[in-house]
């Protein structure tokens, strides 16, 4: 029970601050609650299907396939593929984390995982479309052109910095160690 509560510590802290705020600045507290509620609805409209898709990918995509196309020997093609996967994304970055973890668990190279995350965050196609309609096509395309090399560089640098560091592995299954093992079994 105590472990369960510890997981909620951030949420509880926010609730406490909100309560304190309600005494001092009731308007801000109400805004906070309303925005959080709206954001929760948005998160709930995206995260559950992503989780199910991730489960399906986990079961169906064989490890060998990921390893050969995104693994250490995949080179420029692997980075290109990671980018392609990222651009087709829907939803905000936090929806990408579980997908990236499952890629990494199946043998994708760290640089490609980072490239995937960067692409998903900054230059996914739905976002570029929004951006060109709100800000302008020239702005969106130019930002795309500058962002691509930067994302590739970030992936490469991350791999340098984390080389030999085994900690960058999925931690969510750590709470449920069975998940990782099961996945390994089925992917073989």
Partner 1 sequence: MISAALFGLTAAALLASWWADPAKTREALQIGARSMHGLAPRILGMVGLVGLVLALVPPAAIQRLFAVRGLGGFALVAAVGSIVTMPGPIAFPLVGSLARLGAAPATLATFVTTLTMVGVVTAPMEVSYFGRRFTAIRQILSFVMAIVVGLLMGAFLR
- Do the beta carbons of residue 57 and residue 99 sit within 8 Å? yes
Q: Minimal distance in Å, beta carbon 77 to partner 1?
A: 23
DSSP class of 178: H
Q: DSSP states of 95-161 as a string?
A: HHHHHHHHHHHTT--HHHHHHHHHHHHH--HHHHHHHHHHT-HHHHHHHHHHHHHHHHHHHHHHHHH
Residue nearer to partner 1 on the CB measure, 76 or 149: 149
What angle, 0 to 180 degrees and rounded to 10, lies between the N-to-C axes of helices 75-87 and 110-122?
30
Q: Minimal distance in Å, beta carbon 36 to partner 1?
A: 3
Residue nearer to partner 1 on the CB measure, 48 or 73: 48
Compute, in degrees rounded to 10, the torsion defined by CA atoms 46, 138, 152, 109: 30
- CA 115, CA 81: separation in Å to the nearest integer? 10
Q: Which residue has the tokens 């130019």?
A: 142
Residue nearer to partner 1 on the CB measure, 81 or 162: 162
Q: Minimal distance in Å, beta carbon 73 to partner 1?
A: 22
Q: Minimal distance in Å, beta carbon 129 to partner 1?
A: 10
Residue nearer to partner 1 on the CB measure, 34 or 84: 34
Residue nearer to partner 1 on the CB measure, 78 or 98: 98
Q: Minimal distance in Å, beta carbon 78 to partner 1?
A: 19
């Amino acid at each position: 029970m105590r472990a369960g509560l510890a997981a909620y510590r951030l949420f509880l802290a926010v609730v406490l601050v909100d309560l304190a705020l309600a005494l001092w600045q009731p308007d801000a507290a109400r805004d906070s609650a309303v925005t959080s509620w709206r954001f929760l609805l948005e998160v709930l409209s995206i995260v559950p299907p992503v989780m199910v898709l991730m489960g399906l990918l986990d079961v169906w995509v064989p490890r060998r396939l990921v390893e050969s196309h995104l693994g250490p020997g995949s080179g420029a093609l692997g980075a290109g593929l990671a980018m392609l996967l990222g651009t087709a994304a829907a939803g905000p970055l936090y929806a990408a984390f579980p997908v990236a973890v499952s890629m990494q668990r199946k043998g994708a190279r760290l640089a490609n995982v980072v490239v995937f995350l960067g692409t998903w965050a900054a230059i996914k196609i739905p976002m570029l479309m929004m951006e060109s309609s709100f800000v302008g096509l020239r702005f969106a395309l130019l930002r795309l052109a500058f962002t691509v090399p930067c994302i590739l560089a970030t992936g490469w640098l991350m791999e340098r910095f984390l080389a030999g560091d085994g900690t960058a592995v999925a931690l969510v299954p750590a709470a449920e160690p069975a998940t990782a093992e099961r996945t390994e079994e089925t992917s073989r």
